[in-house]
Amino acid sequence: MSVDINKLVRQNILNLAPYSSARDEFSGTEGVFLDANENPNGSYNRYPDPHQVELKNVLGKVKSVSPQNIFLGNGSDEVIDLIFRTFANPGKDKVIVCPPTYGMYEVSANINDVEIVNIPLLPNFQLDRQSIFKTIEQDKAVKIIFICSPNNPTGNLLEGVEEIIERFDGIVVVDEAYIDFSPKATKVPIIEQYNNLIVSQTLSKAWGLAGIRVGIAFAQKEIIALLNKIKPPYNISTLNQQQALLSLQQPEKFEAERSEILSERDRLQKELLQLPIVQKIYPSDANFLLVEVDNANNVYNLLVDKKVIVRNRNTVIKNCIRITVGTKQENEILLTELKNISQ
């Protein structure tokens, strides 16, 4: 199945003549560069590579994807915003979001003046696919569906995503920020089958690089070209490209940290279950645990008093706190303070 992507793109984006930077017009590395009004002195005096060629080559190898199917954003947040700006007409189109989920889809929708159709997850935190199918059949203004898998803050993988991609003639975004912590496979390989699928990932979580803001979109070339057309020309700084390259070239460090976080996650889960204030821990495919306690506001405030900061999700899922897996030492401090609260 193939979707007519051009029909989904906003007319102003189709018509857009993109900014052509000095480095677009001449991209060699050798020569006397007098074309970009840079200062000739210094070590960060040159504009960064606008297409991040080297970084995409290395990332492509790590992810087993062609660099042509990779777009890089200033964090996934930029990727999400650019997807809105490419496909969703402000004041006219709509997007489907499945709460409780990552808050940026809603914020980005509001910034772009795009109406949200909320289709809450079922009580088992899986997608309500019947409602999604009904909505996309009845409401042709729906342009994008956001699916976060593993989902934040519930921690679980979402099932039945392929059928949604197949039955929808709009864009499906699968946000895989936490996929490196999951035993299940990424959806990246199926971008080959579906030209309306965008899989987003990030270097902010398992790669430990939240500070450098590198988000990734994987898709067929047509969508990658659209995102490239509208992105700010130099959206990933030289420093950030260099640090990303350095980290991606140390896969052993990545593996060691990931397995440490996973074993700490399991340990934390076992220890937390021993505490009387803990009612339930939801299964996690991510680097955090969603924990139901007897009184989330109380537990949250008492932990803050001890300078241990977790995320209070009480307003989203009653009496739940979301705990990020820290270092062994950090997790010990958390457990000690929770034991004190339990007494």
Ligand X SMILES: *Cc1c(COP(=O)(O)O)cnc(C)c1O
**Binding of ligand X by 209 (CB under 6 A):** no
Cis, bond preceding 48 (omega within 30 deg of 0): no
* Cβ atoms 130, 122 nearer than 8 A: no
CA dist., res. 39 & res. 36, Å (int) = 9
**Binding of ligand X by 195 (CB under 6 A):** no
Planar angle of CA 99, 89, 21, nearest 5 degrees: 110
**Binding of ligand X by 204 (CB under 6 A):** yes
Looking at the Cβ atoms of 79 and 277, the one nearer to ligand X is 79
Task: Report which secondary-structure segment, H or E, holds 32.
Answer: none
Looking at the Cβ atoms of 132 and 214, the one nearer to ligand X is 214
Q: In what order do the strands lie in the sheet with 311-312?
A: 278-281, 288-293, 320-324, 311-312
Residue nearest ligand X by beta-carbon distance: 75
Looking at the Cβ atoms of 50 and 215, the one nearer to ligand X is 215
**Binding of ligand X by 177 (CB under 6 A):** yes
Helices 251-273 and 328-342: crossing angle in degrees, nearest 10, is 10
Among 1, 36, 122, 210, binds ligand X (CB under 6 A): 210
Binding mask 98-127 for ligand X (x = CB under 6 A): ----x-------------------------
Tokens of 210: 């939240």
Among 88, 149, 156, 175, binds ligand X (CB under 6 A): 175
* Cβ atoms 76, 202 nearer than 8 A: yes
**What's the closest the beta carbon of residue 107 comes to ligand X, in angstroms?**
12
Binding segment for ligand X (CB under 6 A), chosen from 71-79, 183-191, 245-253, 296-304, is: 71-79
**Binding of ligand X by 296 (CB under 6 A):** no
Looking at the Cβ atoms of 79 and 165, the one nearer to ligand X is 79
Backbone angles phi, psi at 29, to 5 degrees: -105, -15
* Cβ atoms 177, 184 nearer than 8 A: no
Among 89, 152, 195, 269, binds ligand X (CB under 6 A): 152
Q: Using CB under 6 A as the criterion, which residues of the chain lie in contact with ligand X when the complex forms?
A: 75-77, 102, 148, 152, 175, 177, 202, 204-205, 210, 215
